[in-house]
Amino acid sequence: MKLGVLFSGGKDSTLAMQLASEHHEISCLLSMKSENDASYMFHTPNIGLTELQAEALDIPLITGITKGEKELELSDLKDLIKNAIELFGIEGIVTGAVESVYQAQRVQKICSDLGLWCFNPLWQMDQIELLETLVRKKYNIIISAIAAYPLNESWLGRKLDSKMISELKALTGVNPAGEGGEFESLVLNAPMFKREIKIIESEKEYDNHAGVFIVKEADLR
């Protein structure tokens, strides 16, 4: 089956893509750039890097832009998916949804309206198992944003590894895989990548347990 992947460049959508690729053809990536940093639906930190990630994956990328207004942004997503159907003949959509019923239900509704299969390979996966799978499969992932106590500036740009997983397991009030919006991630390398992303220049913006790791320049190697 020909599938399009709702791709944010983070850990969940990238792992979901890999799992889907084991039995299906990944025809394209779909990324939505939201002008609203507090979007209910879409990942925003470093979303512009999906173009470089798509190049590293050697998979076509189509991009949509939304103002990120609640519910109205779903119409923009629907238009983007329609575009993927026309350009690539996709028969289904892959999402990286793990626990967000809000996101999963809304993507499912769009897929149903368009006659597409909605595939959520990570749905209800144990969060620690998810993180351990990423480390075991040798993903190179960094933390690109934080938004919860006790996470602090030192977490920004930090690589996901076994030590981090142990620390996340010990934290109270933090979903270990960031499913409550506690943190966001950026994939620099993964099994499906043909080239690795190298960060050349970056900066941190941080205030009171909320911050973003901004990649200002990056290239492939």
Per-residue pLDDT at 197 = 98
Residue in the block written with tokens 């999963």: 104
Per-residue pLDDT at 45 = 83
Per-residue pLDDT at 68 = 72
Per-residue pLDDT at 61 = 98
CA-wise closest residue to 77 among 51, 107, 97, 104: 107
**160 DSSP 8-state letter:** P
Domains of the chain: which residue ranges?
2-119, 137-220
In this model, does residue 36 exceed pLDDT 80?
no
Q: Which two tokens stand for residue 30?
A: 């779909």
Span 166-210, pLDDT tens digits: 999 999 889 999 998 899 999 999 999 999 999 999 999 999 999
CA atoms within 13 A on the CB side of 63: 13
Measured in degrees and rounded to the nearest 5, phi and psi for residue 192 equal -85, -15
Q: Which amino acid is at 58?
A: D
In this model, does residue 136 exceed pLDDT 70?
yes
Rounded Cα gap, residues 141 and 157, in angstroms = 9
Span 39-81, pLDDT tens digits: 656 767 899 999 999 999 999 999 999 887 777 889 999 999 9
Are 103 and 95 within 8 A, CB to CB? Answer: yes
Q: What share of the chain is helix, strand, coil (3-state, %, to 5)?
A: 35, 30, 35
Average pLDDT over residues 11-33: 97
Span 138-175, pLDDT tens digits: 999 999 999 999 999 999 999 999 999 999 999 988 99
Q: Which helix (H) or strand (E) holds 188?
A: strand 183-189
Identify the CATH number of the domain defined by range 137-220: 3.90.1490.10
Per-residue pLDDT at 73 = 85
What homologous superfamily does CATH list for 2-119? Answer: HUPs (3.40.50.620)
Q: Which two tokens stand for residue 87?
A: 């350009």
Span 75-108, pLDDT tens digits: 999 999 999 999 999 999 999 999 988 889 999 9
Per-residue pLDDT at 128 = 96
Matching CATH topology for 2-119 and 137-220?
no
